[in-house]
Each structure stands twice: as C-alpha cells, then as structure tokens.
Amino acid sequence: MEREVKIWEQHEIVSHKKYVKMKIAICDKNYINLKTIKNIIYRYAERKKMEIVVECYYSGDELLMCDTKYHLIFLGELLADSSGLDTAINLREYNSFSSIVFISKSTELVFKSLKVNPYSFLTTPVDEISVSSLLDEFFEKFGCNYPLWIKSRNDTVCLNTNEIFFLEANNKHCFIHLNNQTLSCNHTMAKVYSVLPKNYFLKINRAFIVNINYVFKYNNDTLQLKNGTKLHISRNYLNSFKEDYRRLISPYVP
C-alpha cells in the first residue's frame, strides 16, 4: 500500500546535501605522495563527474585540530610531527565516521593498525590504478548511502538513499519506488533528485530516474531493474544513459 508522504521543506533538505559533496583529506610528510594522490583523485572526480573536495596536511596535529569530518582520510606512515598510526588512534577517540587509508612502503603497518579499523592500505609508490580502484570500491560501498528524511503528516519516514530503486514523475508530485514499497511524495521528481547523489541516479526518460546500482539489464528501449521492474528508455536519453552508466560503473567486459 502506498503511503502519502512529503519531503521536508527545502531548508531542511539542504542539510543532507553535505553528504553529496565528498570530502577527502590527505596527510603525509611526503610531498610527492600528497601531490600524486591529490591529482589522481581530481582526475577521478572529473571522469566520474563527481564533486570531491581534497585538503592536504603535512602535520597530524593540523588534521586533528580541523573541525571537518572527512569521508575518507589518506594517512602517511610518517608525518611531520608524529606517525600516521598515532594520529589515527587520536582521531578515533572522537571520530568514528571517517574511513582511513594508510599509505606505507611495507605491509608491516597492516597488523599494527587494526585497532583503528582502517578501510584500506596503499603501498608506495602509489599509482593511478591502485588509487582509482580503491575509490571505486569506496564509492560503491558508501557513495550512494546517506540519510534522507521524508515527512509523512505527523510522522517522519527515515530512508537511506541507497534504498531508492527509481523515481517516477507524477505531474507536480512523484513516486519514490523502493524494493517492495512505493511512497507517494507531494514534491516534484526534480526536487527529490536535487538531494540525491548524481553519480548514482540517471534519467532514462522524462518520467523516470533510476538508481544505477539496481540496473540488471537494458536494450535500446527497455531497462530492467534487479527486482524485475521494467521501465521504458526514451530514444532522447538512450545514448547519454549508456555513456554515463558505463563511465560511472566502469564495468569489466570479458
């Protein structure tokens, strides 16, 4: 059964947009590592048409004093004033949100760092393929998932954006389709789309916007989602959909 719901007013929606702009920090004593990783990330963002902000630090103390909660932090083994591991331990005392990637010459740091629950590791010298692959994995896991609150009369429906399979326009309203439930929203599809991660939601015609993580297959006129739902792909959107889908997913084609 459909529920009559509405998204919070625009000033309340805006608070969720901060999750769309990904914030990444790089903290390393080695200038070459800093510059290399930063440039790779920005090239990655340009290819994927993503909005990523990268900030660099030489000092662990500078990173710890910063109020910004980064989604991803690259930490060098040696910093200007401390070790990367010591900085990570101090960071975890008040910040369990950020994912940490250690940069090291060897794998010895792997076992020592388990106490801070790192996301991953990079061995030096870093290269385009290893950093890009790490970012692909990270954004596949975290990039499409952040809270979206929807007001339902006196209730608030709490969703995660990765629960949304597709949006369907309905004049000045829209439907939000989940796996096994449909929410009737009193805002336009464009307004809902404005708070979703653009690198995971693509328009296939004037009436439908799909979450590319749930695409099962498609041809020149039909797209099928992983729950079996079939949607029409407009000829006007077909080429742009195929180009953006391949670029964003970066599939392996045998």
Q: Provide the pLDDT for residue 144.
A: 66
What is the pLDDT at residue 252?
Answer: 60
Ranges of the chain with pLDDT below 70: 1-21, 80, 108-113, 115, 143-145, 151-155, 250-254
Q: What is the pLDDT of residue 48?
A: 78
Question: Of 101, 97, 51, 57, which Cα lies nearest the Cα of 81?
Answer: 57
Inter-residue contact 246 to 252 (CB < 8 Å): no
How high is the pLDDT of residue 203? 95
Class of domain 21-143 as given by CATH: alpha beta
pLDDT tens, 59-112? 889 999 988 888 899 998 877 677 888 888 888 888 777 899 999 887 766 666
Q: What is the pLDDT of residue 146?
A: 72
Amino acid at 54: V
Q: Left (φ > 0), alpha (ψ -120 to 50) or beta: where does 187 sit?
A: beta
Fold designation for 3-15+146-249: OB fold (Dihydrolipoamide Acetyltransferase, E2P) (2.40.50)
Stated as kind and residue range, the H or E segment containing 216 is strand 215-218
